[in-house]
Structure 1
Amino acid sequence: MAASSGSDRVAEREVMLEWHIRARGIRDARVLDAMRAVPREQFLPATVAADAYADSPLPIGHGQTISQPYIVALTAEAGRLQPGDRVLDVGTGSGYAAAVYAAMGAEVWSIEFVPELAEQARQALRDIPAVHVVTGDGTLGLPEHAPFDAILAAAAGPDIPAPWIDQLADGGRIVMPLERHAGWQQLVRVTRHGDDTALDDLGAVRFVPLRGEHGLR
């Protein structure tokens, strides 16, 4: 099969936006513009790049996946990202979500548990200076770069890690999936108001497990 041309991929991206993002309720124009600007195929192994604009997770190696486009859009919208926000992206994976957040004007500190994936993401993100990839335990956050306006996680944990609350700015948002019981996860947004937090339920999801001290494994 012949490789798709650049213009074909742009057309595929528009179809993705129309049928998988807008049609499912994402309305934030800045999220839509960012996802239009970031070529998802550049963050995928060649073996699955042809499926870049399918609304599904895809394998990226080491037992990890790139999140489906709708989930990236939902997380970005729920995070209420604004230009200049400092974002902690937990679970860099391919680097695609970090690129989307950066396209929305955020300064992104992205942390990946698997060293090989972190290095692949650094290469994929090398032309995006607003993204900084760190190898380490994302459940501990990055206190040296806190406070964060948003902490966005691409893996499911048993609860909100306590270090994240400590590293969240007043008015900041955490968006992450929580493992409620085997086979069922709930995407939530936690917003900090001084010493208090408010929680919003964003619906059922399915993510890989969050690894680390405050994770599932």
Structure 2
Amino acid sequence: MRKDTIKHQGKRQQLAALVAEKGIRDEKVLDAIKAIPRHLFMDSSFEDHAYQDKAFPIAADQTISQPYTVAFQTEVLQVSKGDMVLEIGTGSGYQTAVLCELGAKVYSIERQLELFKKTKLFLSKLGYRARYLGFGDGYKGLPDYAPFDRIIVTAGAPFIPKPLLSQLKVGGRMVIPVGKDSQVMTLIERKSKTEFQKTEFGEFRFVPLLEDKN
């Protein structure tokens, strides 16, 4: 395992300050960015770039999201300690770690087998314990564990998957980037059994959410 040095920690402080300058106000989210060794989630050849506010490639043609995007989605989600959070797209595990830092009970699904195996091992080495880390089709969610207080989708979805809406608690919040080429960050709040309120934020770019074709 590579090291987390005082220099890395200093760079994280700077990254958190940069993300705050861009408009992130939630102190708990900023503290999570200060705490998590993002360089360990990336290939060592990209280590110098780990604390820039940029997305970078990881395994299986996926990316580790830009820190600002992670912070923005997390802030909109409004996670409280003990919340059951469903994450669609474990990816590098960085967003998973942020949710764990906030005290959430995280249930995460990854569609890419190679990435899933690597991240599952890696997160437990770092000491981030998700309640459930699974390999499967994120469009279907996790009905066995539903309903969830919060749902976060970390890949671009061409539409909002219905199973995810049905797995959201009344009073719950879902953050999902919706769109084909570029995505509009969308917040869905479940007001009652049948009523959902939608709020749209700006455009973001994500790798596509893959649906299981098998």
TM range (shorter): over 0.9
* Alpha-carbon separation, structure 2, partners of 1:92 and 1:14: 25
Q: Which residue of 1 aligns with 2:142?
A: 142
When the two structures are superposed, what TM-score results if normalisation uses the length of structure 2? Answer: 0.93
Q: Equivalences for 1:1-217 in 2 at 5 Å?
A: 6-19=5-18, 21-126=19-124, 127-179=127-179, 183-194=181-192, 195-212=194-211
TM-score (norm 1): 0.92
Answer yes or no: is the 8 Å Cα contact 1:16–1:55 preserved in 2: yes
Question: C-alpha separation between the residues in 2 aligned to 1:5 and 1:26?
Answer: 25
Write out per-residue CA displacement over residues 37-75 of structure 1, whole angstroms, 9 at most, x where no aligned residue: 111112111121221111111000211000000000001
For 1:4 and 1:82, locate their aligned partners in 2 and report how far apart those are by CA, in whole Å.
30
Partners of 2:9 and 2:210 in 1: CA distance: 35
Cα distance between partner residues in 1 of 2:147 and 2:187: 17
Residue aligned with 2:6, SS: helix
Output the amino acid matched with 1:148.
Answer: F
Q: 1:83 offset after TM fit, Å?
A: 0.4
Higher mean alpha-carbon deviation, 98-107 vs 183-192, is at: 183-192
Deviations 1:112-149 (A, max 9, x none): 00011001111121122235310000010000111111
What is the total number of aligned residue pairs between the two structures? Answer: 209
Structure 1 distance, partners of 2:212, 2:61, is 19
Task: Please report how far the alpha carbon of residue 36 of structure 1 lies from its aligned counterpart in structure 2 after TM superposition.
Answer: 1.2
- Which one has a larger percent strand, Structure 1 or Structure 2? 1
Asked whether the equivalents of residues 176 and 188 of structure 1 are also in contact (C-alpha less than 8 Å), the reply is: yes
Identity %: 39
What code does the residue aligned with 1:161 have?
Answer: P
Gaps of 5+ in 1: none
SS of equivalent to 2:63: strand
Segments of 5+ residues of structure 2 without an aligned counterpart are none
The CA distance in 2 between the partners of 1:213 and 1:50, in whole Å, is 35
The alignment partner of 2:25 has SS state of: coil
RMSD: 1.6
Task: Could you list the structure 1 runs, at least 4 aligned residues long, displaced by more than 3 angstroms after superposition.
Answer: none
Instruction: Give how far 1:213 is off.
Output: 5.0
- Which letter does structure 2 place at the counterpart of 1:64? Q
> In 2 relative to 1, CA 22–113 (structure 1 residues): closer, same or farther, beyond 3 Å?
same
Paired amino acid for 2:177: P
1:175 and 1:11 map into 2 onto residues whose CA distance is 30
